[in-house]
């Protein structure tokens, strides 16, 4: 069981669809992260939110749009995705963004397939 | 540019200790060594981290050499549920970055 909850667990969408991924944590963490993991590859950082504000965008295409409505919730809005965007999308949280001595805690991800 | 080097894969016997090596010869004084693992179809799970002293928790022990250029993660009594990809990560103390390398695929066999 993880303390970071991601929904849905699986998502299949067409290239013209709009969908959203949701992530929730109730550990009082003020930093939240989105990672992308392609098959048989390590996770790669996409976005970092610190105190509900976007602080890091790792040059992610604009068809991925993150949102942090409150300190417990993180969304990733998807629009006009490409087949190569099929991957496992992982959410993580940590007490603060620069807390290098404190671990990030991950959810189990949303497995996204683009048709 | 990888900061850590790990074996691609290793097998270990159930009930025995599993010793996972990691080389981080360019580590700086302000960088921690972190270990995560990822069981199939799950997200990465934090295991342990350390700066220069050896560390132990309920999951594992972390042994860091005196020169800090390498470390070993020890799973004291491996079980089949410990089969996973294990990532050794070097992380700057006040940085947000958690850069995963290729990791070691560990298979625990009965």
| Residue-wise pLDDT tens digits, B68-85 | 999 999 999 999 999 999
**Strand pairing report for B61-64 and B70-75:** antiparallel
Q: Are B64 and B54 in contact (CB under 8 A)?
A: yes
Tell me the shortest Cα–Cα distance from B71 to chain A, in angstroms. Answer: 17
Question: B108 phi and psi, to 5 degrees?
Answer: -95, 125
Nearest CA in chain B to A87: B41
Is residue A115 over pLDDT 80? Answer: yes
Out of B42, B46, B93, name the one closest to residue A100 (CB): B93
Is residue A44 over pLDDT 80? Answer: yes
- The pLDDT of residue B2: 58
Q: Which of A111, A109, A72 has its CA nearest to residue A93?
A: A72
Distance, in Å, from the CA atom of A52 to the CA atom of B1, rounded to the nearest integer, reads 31
The parts of chain B modelled with pLDDT lower than 50 are none
Chain B interface disruption, residue of A1, A42, A48, A49, most B CBs within 10 A: A42
- The pLDDT of residue A97: 75
Sort out which chain B residues have CB atoms less than 8 A from A108's CB and list them. 41-43
Q: Are B87 and B3 in contact (CB under 8 A)?
A: no
- The pLDDT of residue B94: 79
Distance, in Å, from the CA atom of B58 to the CA atom of B79, rounded to the nearest integer, reads 14
């Amino acid at each position: 069981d993880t303390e970071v909850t991601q929904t849905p667990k699986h998502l299949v969408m067409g290239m013209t669809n709009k969908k959203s991924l949701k992530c929730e944590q109730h550990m009082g963490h003020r930093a939240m992260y989105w990672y992308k993991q392609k098959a048989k590859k390590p996770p790669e950082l996409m976005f970092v939110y610190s105190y509900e504000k976007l602080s890091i965008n790792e040059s992610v295409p604009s068809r991925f749009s993150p949102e942090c409505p409150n300190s417990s919730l993180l969304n990733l809005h998807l629009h006009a995705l490409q087949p190569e965007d099929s991957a496992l999308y992982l959410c993580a949280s940590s007490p603060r963004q620069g807390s290098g001595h404190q671990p990030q805690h991950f959810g189990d991800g949303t497995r996204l397939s683009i048709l | 540019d990888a900061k850590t080097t790990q074996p691609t894969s290793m097998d270990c016997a159930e009930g025995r200790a599993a010793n996972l090596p990691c080389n981080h010869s360019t580590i700086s004084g302000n960088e921690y060594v972190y270990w995560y693992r990822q069981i199939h179809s799950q997200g990465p799970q934090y295991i342990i981290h350390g700066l220069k002293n050896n560390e132990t928790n309920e999951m594992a022990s972390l042994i860091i050499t005196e020169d800090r250029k390498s470390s070993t993660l020890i799973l004291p009594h491996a079980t089949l549920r410990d089969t996973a990809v294990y990532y050794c990560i070097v992380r700057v103390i006040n940085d947000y970055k958690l850069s995963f390398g290729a990791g070691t695929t560990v298979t625990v066999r009965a």
